[in-house]
Structures are given as structure tokens and as C-alpha cells.
Amino acid sequence: MAKLPQDIHQAQLTLLLAAVMGCSQVLDQSVSLASERTSIERTYELTKYLDHQLKEIRDTYLSYLGPPFSDRDFSPPRPNSSSLSLPSAATRVDLWRGLENGVRLAQNQRAYTILLCAVKELASSTLCPYLQSSLLHFCSGLSGLLGAISGLMNTLGYTPPSHGNIPPLQGTTPIISAAPAPNDFSRKVEGFWVLRELQSWLQRSAKDFNRLKKRLRA
């Protein structure tokens, strides 16, 4: 007779614990989902802000380069990949649509890692101090974006690609060619393309994060 209340007592305790665990887990999930959506939203806003900032910097940079770069509608041919290893934002619609969340984020991360280095190099070779400080300021925004993307990948449980996949960043192979006696014009063309590709990526990323937001909500 004395045993029965104890059994009931134990069962009730177990139930209580289970309920508490269940509640906290559900709480955790909904909180983290909400925070992920917030961080995606924030990353989205950041890309739009950087896109807007880049337009101004690009205009200044193109007038700094002078004609023909400062001419409207001027578009030099893209340097071949041996001298410039820029990631292209261009893709087929069907491929872009079907990207897995993790792959989508990884592509963004890889692109901005390379582009950040490229813009840093651009800044260091710019002779105009105002332009140089604008570019460096922009770099800090870009690295903030990179941090946000990496953070997102961690929260969503996607392993960031091993550093072996990304070309060495620590200055051994510069993104912009430092080939023997680089042609001044070809260096300008490379600078043009760094900023052009960056613009395309920022426009693409905004749509990437929008897509991610929707997929996570589903």
C-alpha cells in the first residue's frame, strides 16, 4: 500500500521532467528559428546597404580611373581567369533556384572572401587618399557581411568549407595580377571588374537571402 503512492510520485516527477524538457526544446527551436530569420533579415539589409554604398564608390573610382572607364556604357572585356580569379555571380535560373541552403550560403561566403581581398588590394594601390579611405571603410562593411554569413552557416548547421578550397588569402597570390611589368591599362581593367563583379554579387545576395528566408519559413 505504501509503495503505490511512491510509484505514482515517481511517475509524476518523470512526467514533470519530460514536460519541462519538451517545453524548453520547443521554446529553443522557435526562439532560434526566429533569431535566424532576424539574422537573415539583418544580413539582407546589410547587402542592400552595401550595394547602395558601392554604387557611389564605383562612380568615384571610375572617374578616378579616367576615360574611357569614366565614360558611360564603357565595358572592357573581362580579363581571362589566369590573371584574375574573380567569382562570377552569373548563373542559370534553374540552377540558382534549386540551390540547397548550405550550398547557397557557401557560394556567397566564398565569393565575398575573394572579393574582400581584391578590394583591399585595390585600396592599397589607390593613390587618391579619399578614395582609399572610402574603399577601406567599405572593406569593413564587407567583412561584417562575411561574418554574418559565417554566423548564419553555423546556426543553420552547415559546415563552412575547409580553407583548402579557398585560394590562399594571406597575400601569397594576389587576386589582382602583379605580373612583371603590369600594363597600367590592364590593371585598371582588373580594378573595374573587381567592383563590377562585387556589384553583381551584392544584387544576387539580396535575392539569395530572400530565398533563404522563404525556405526557412516553410
Partner 1 sequence: MANIVTSVCCVVLAAVVVVYAQRRSQQGARIQYERIGSDVTMQCGSLDTNASVTWKVNGTDVKARRREEGSRLVLMDVNMSSNGLYSCFQNPDGERRDQINLRVGLPPREPQVTCRSNTYPKGFYCSWHLQHSTYIPTDFEVNVQHNQRSLEVRRDEVHKNRCHVKFPELFSSFPYRVNVTAVNALGRKSNTITFEEFSIVKPDPPEKVVAKPIPNNVRRLEVTWSSPSTWPDVENFPLKYFLRYRPLIRDQWQHVELSDSTSHTITDAYVGKEYIIQLAAKDMEIGTWSDWSVAVHATPWTEEPKPITSTTEVEVLTDITPSPAPPSAKPRVGVAAGGCSTLLWSSHLLLACILLSIMW
Which residues would be at the binding site for partner 1 (CB under 8 A)?
A: 9, 12-13, 15-16, 19-20, 23-24, 26-27, 30-31, 33-34, 37-38, 41, 48, 51, 73, 75, 77-78, 88-93, 96-97, 193, 196-197, 199-201, 203-204, 206-207, 210-211, 214, 217
Total count of residues recorded for the chain: 218
Q: Is residue 119 a contact partner of residue 142, using CB atoms and an 8 Å limit?
A: yes
In the complex, least distance from residue 22 CB atom to partner 1, rounded to whole angstroms? 9
User: Whole-angstrom Cα distance, residue 61 to residue 70?
Assistant: 9
Give 78 or 110: the residue with its C-beta nearer to partner 1.
78
How many beta carbons lie within 10 A of that of residue 196, not counting itself?
17
Q: How far is the CB of 167 from partner 1 (least distance, A)?
A: 20
CA separation for the pair 86, 196 (Å, rounded):
10
Nearer to partner 1, 35 or 63 (CB): 35
Shortest Cβ 204–partner 1 spacing (Å): 4
Helix (H, G, I), strand (E, B) or coil at 16: helix
Give me the phi and psi of 67, to 5 degrees please. -65, 150
Q: Which is nearer to partner 1, 132 or 200 (CB)?
A: 200
Measure the CA–CA gap between 187 and 179, rounded to whole angstroms.
Answer: 10
Closer Cβ to partner 1, 70 or 133, answer by number: 70
* Nearer of residues 11 and 178 to partner 1, judged by Cβ: 11
Cα–chain center distance at 104: 10
Using N-to-C axis directions, what is the helix angle for 101-124 and 129-155, rounded to 10°?
160
Shortest distance (Å) from residue 4 CB to partner 1 = 15
- DSSP, collapsed to helix, strand or coil, labels residue 98 as coil
Q: C-beta of 61: minimal distance to partner 1 in Å?
A: 16
By beta-carbon proximity to partner 1, the closer residue of 120 and 204 is 204
Kindly state the smallest distance separating residue 35's Cβ from partner 1, in Å.
9
